[in-house]
């Protein structure tokens, strides 16, 4: 009986320690990210597109506050890349990449449309945004921390596989973009634009005849 009591006490202590350790692991302040590529109205070919990745968010896995990447001031451990779906190769083609301190401007970068741009003609395109925390707390020889707004200290975990739901250090999102043909000048307006030249030519011809 005494042995059973000792065994019971030992098992109780074991499970108490295990539960405590599990609880600490579950609330350890690792961060997760979720990409948000934004939404876009149709644009005319030749116009610029204002990209908007400010919906991309970061939070601690323990359930603390969520922050927009546009509210972060230190991007040392962050990177992002914008891409477009290529129907010919059936793959995503990166057209802009940012890492470290440049990430802030990359979230709201401007991209051209038309010849020489990622969007060369009218049609439906898909824009993608890959947002990453590039370091890991488990990287050999690294002790990485990230300071979030309000002075919160968080750590990137080792969950670097790609995710579409924001459950890891990498997130990807995409949306459709419609590019219309460049608007041509309407015929009545075109005639008005020619009117000053026609008046000048008529006056010149009148003067020539008088001479």
Give the pLDDT score at 5. 39
Q: Quick count: other Cβ atoms within 10 Å of Cβ 144?
A: 16
Superfamily of domain 29-206: Immunoglobulins (2.60.40.10)
Global pTM value: 0.71
Dihedral sign for Cα 165, 166, 171, 173, please.
positive
Most confident of 5-19, 96-110, 192-206: 96-110
pLDDT 10s digits, 129-188: 999 998 776 665 566 788 888 887 787 877 777 777 677 889 999 999 999 998 644 545
Position 203 scores a pLDDT of: 60
């Amino acid at each position: 009986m005494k042995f059973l009591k000792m065994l019971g006490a030992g098992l109780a202590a074991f499970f108490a320690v295990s539960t405590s350790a599990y609880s600490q692991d579950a609330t350890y302040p690792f961060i997760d990210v979720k990409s948000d590529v934004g939404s876009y109205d149709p644009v005319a070919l030749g116009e610029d597109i204002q990209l908007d990745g400010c919906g991309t968010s970061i939070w601690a896995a323990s359930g603390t506050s969520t922050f927009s990447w546009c509210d972060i001031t230190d991007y040392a451990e962050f990177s992002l890349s914008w891409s477009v779906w290529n129907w010919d190769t059936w793959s995503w083609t990166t057209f802009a990449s940012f890492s470290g301190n440049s990430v802030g401007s990359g979230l709201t970068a401007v991209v051209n449309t038309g010849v020489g741009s990622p969007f060369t003609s009218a049609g439906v395109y898909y824009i993608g945004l890959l947002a990453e925390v590039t370091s890991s707390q488990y990287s050999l020889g690294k002790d990485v921390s990230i300071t979030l707004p309000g002075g919160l200290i968080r750590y990137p975990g080792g969950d670097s596989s790609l995710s579409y739901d924001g459950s890891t250090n990498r997130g990807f999102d995409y949306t459709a973009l419609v590019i219309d043909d460049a608007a041509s000048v309407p015929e009545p307006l075109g005639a008005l634009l020619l009117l000053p030249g026609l008046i000048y030519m008529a006056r010149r011809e009148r003067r020539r005849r008088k001479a």
